[in-house]
Structure 1
């Protein structure tokens, strides 16, 4: 028998931590597809145990003898080779994953919050112990994004990664655009349909997308980026009027996660940001509706690539987990290794002030002569060029909508501050960015 296949045929033991929607699907797939998985891996892949919080809960389809409330003891078993972490959150998963890696177990996780905060520490532990750390399911559910970035594009240079990576917010914005309903009404409906959590803050305020942006930026630009490095805005202030106005400019509004390489006089920096933005209807992300996700990658040689599909849900996320599990198991059998963390570039992180984008500004204004010129003058004073201007309504209902050319966040912020001081401006209703254009 060859050296590389010396362990072929020996069962690969798997421990699953957590049995929510995703964990239950992983257990089901492992059990129902055992023969196919064995053929793909080159050895039997055997479920050794599942760690759960409540042993008294009925779980049809799983042998109660496999259940335990002690994840640390399950990880420590000598017949466990791979650990699948599906608990979520930072602690205790961080300690459990470190323990698994340090004792020679490979780890598969779908934990975006943990990877966004501690990827460096966990990757170092995996490297030091010659084991794998896979996390494809941490970014966009079933959509393969991590593996193309780490493997398929390993010989290319990525310039930009942008996408819709949160299904809850995409559902809300899609429904608001289609029905004209307000934010609170659609959020409540999203909760009833199971798209929104009881506490939707992480989704609607952009924390979930920011964690995913940190992971994508780290991989795409070979630089360690954490969620704290990501500029973040949520969607709770978006109104039906914003969506209606966007449509008049042939645009829609999406919550975007954007990671890009900024080059200025030969100096490179990374921008990672999450915010709601107008995008033209002809842009590929504009057609991504409902709870679906999509990520567009732009690289030097491959050009633009788009990945689209189910971004969440038990079965889709479990499919991504299982892809990682098969890879990790195969590496065990044939003594291979998955990609290691790459941080050789160590590029500085740009602030939002360093980023130039176009802007959409909605103002409630006094309906009297000279107001347009007065407002345009404030934009000019701060070096912000106006691309389009539209007035809607009259009298007390007068509203002015302005779309700018590219400007820095600082220049735009100073402009908005000046506008708020004008007697002619009743209220600055919305300030959103416009992405996906070359202007």
Structure 2
């Protein structure tokens, strides 16, 4: 006796770039496997592109499926996959899709970090799913474990390398001794960095991902605007060398953690370069790879590692979400919605607990170290180590006729506000010619 025909799940794809092309190819090549996992076939009903008539032979679908009418396409799908990026028209198309009963899978970290609550509200109002595993760290399954696997635990900290471009640049500076401009050019030549690398180098991409991680980890609404952000453009070869001397490496980190201000519990969310001890697992993350380190009360320390970008890796995360949404279509039910019940305050950067590595150009004479130590003590900051460096032969050994030296100070943990105030005080000392470098130290 033949089985009754199963109604296919209609899938619309917005975007046919690197990720979109990989998604379409895998949906086609793995069609039988996906149908078995879902309980129904997944049928591509259209692919929205900016213009038709372009050679898309790398996408193994009927050319008639390509359309420029994304507005119409999303109204006839059960699941809409959004991989076009940006804020609009992506936001408008996602909302339109939900209004017409479609679940949405997105890789759009910028939109989700800016307008995630409104998208969740639309999903709830229309009884559909919103998934976005691919929005953070490409193929690495990090959002679902935070949201679901660790739902019975309390996450205290998320520390991660979530931008492959900057990790590649800093890794090359560490291993080859090259400067920033040289390594950025190499990243561009290899396709890791865009022609305009600002979003990566200045930390905007990582900040959006940090907002998503913090929102899920702490059940609190966090937007990109809440994230303290510093990029890597000011990281010098001298900074990387100083890190080596401390047996550290420099990484651009996204750091989300619970903290307290008096009796008030809140969270801090920040993105900035930091020195990380080579003994820490994140220090071994090389090239354009990503890794996220999670600390939880019961589970302890967990680390997720893998490729953070690229067509197939990102498509893997997208399709994992598509399978989940499709299963709900077949069996009923919905995935988890927004969890913002904790509503913790998001503290400014001054409340964050960190350590500083400070390099000072000072007058080489008696009493200087005592003045420097007093500046730290006056601001309640404890010094861990101090070392003096001689002025290199290729530099002027004097300033205004007075011999120079370099002091390198590493502090114990303090609030960023206290550490910043200390740097200001050091700048005002007449024995300090210049504060030449300030970098945070994490993972100790």
TM-score above 0.5: yes
Of 376, 387, 392, which aligns to 2:389? 392
Structure 2 equivalent of residue 204 of structure 1: 201
User: What secondary structure, in the 3-state scheme, does the structure 2 residue paired with 1:252 have?
Assistant: strand
Q: Deviations over 1:230-262 (max 9, x none)?
A: 111111111111111111112111111011111
Match of 1:3 in 2: none
Structure 1, gaps ≥5 residues long: 1-6
Q: Which residue of 1 aligns with 2:440?
A: 433
Work out whether residues 375 and 426 of structure 2, in 8 Å CA contact, stay in contact via their aligned partners in 1: yes
Question: How much does 1:265 deviate?
Answer: 5.2
Match of 2:319 in 1: 322
1:53 aligns with 2:24: no
1:150 Cα deviation after fit: 1.1
User: In structure 2, what is the equivalent of residue 17 of structure 1?
Assistant: 14
What CA distance in whole angstroms lies between the structure 2 residues aligned with 1:34 and 1:222? 36
Give the distance between the partners of 2:82 and 2:70, measured in 1 at CA.
Answer: 10
Q: Partners of 2:297 and 2:420 in 1: how far apart?
A: 33
Shift of 1:421: 2.2
Displacement of 1:393: 1.8
Distance 2:177 2:324 in 1: 45
- Report how far residue 215 of structure 1 moved: 0.3
| Kept after mapping to 2: 8 A contact 1:54/1:69 | yes
Contact 1:8–1:334, Cα closer than 8 Å, also in 2: no
Paired residues of 1:8 and 1:333 also in contact (CA < 8 A): no
Please give the alpha-carbon distance, in whole angstroms, between the structure 2 residues aligned to 1:199 and 1:367. 43
- Contact 2:261-2:351 at 8 Å conserved across structures: no
What pairs with 1:74-113 in structure 2 (closer than 5 Å)?
Answer: 74-77=73-76, 80-113=77-110
| Corresponding position: 1:258 with 2:255 | yes
Task: Mark the runs of 5 or more structure 2 residues left unpaired by the alignment.
Answer: 392-396, 399-403
What are the equivalent positions in structure 2 for 1:374-413 lying under 5 Å apart?
Answer: 374-394=371-391, 395-396=397-398, 398-413=405-420
Q: Offset at 1:26?
A: 0.1
TM-score by length of 2: 0.94
Task: Name the residue aligned to 2:303.
Answer: 306
Q: 1:151 to 1:59 in 2, by over 3 A?
A: same
1:296-350 per-residue CA deviation (whole Å, 9 max, x = no partner) reads 1111111111100000111100000000001111110111211111111111111
Match of 1:186 in 2: 183
User: Partner residue of 1:345?
Assistant: 342
Q: Scaled by the length of structure 1, what TM-score is found?
A: 0.95
Tell me the distance in 1 between the aligned counterparts of 2:47 and 2:337: 27
Aligned to 1:68: 67
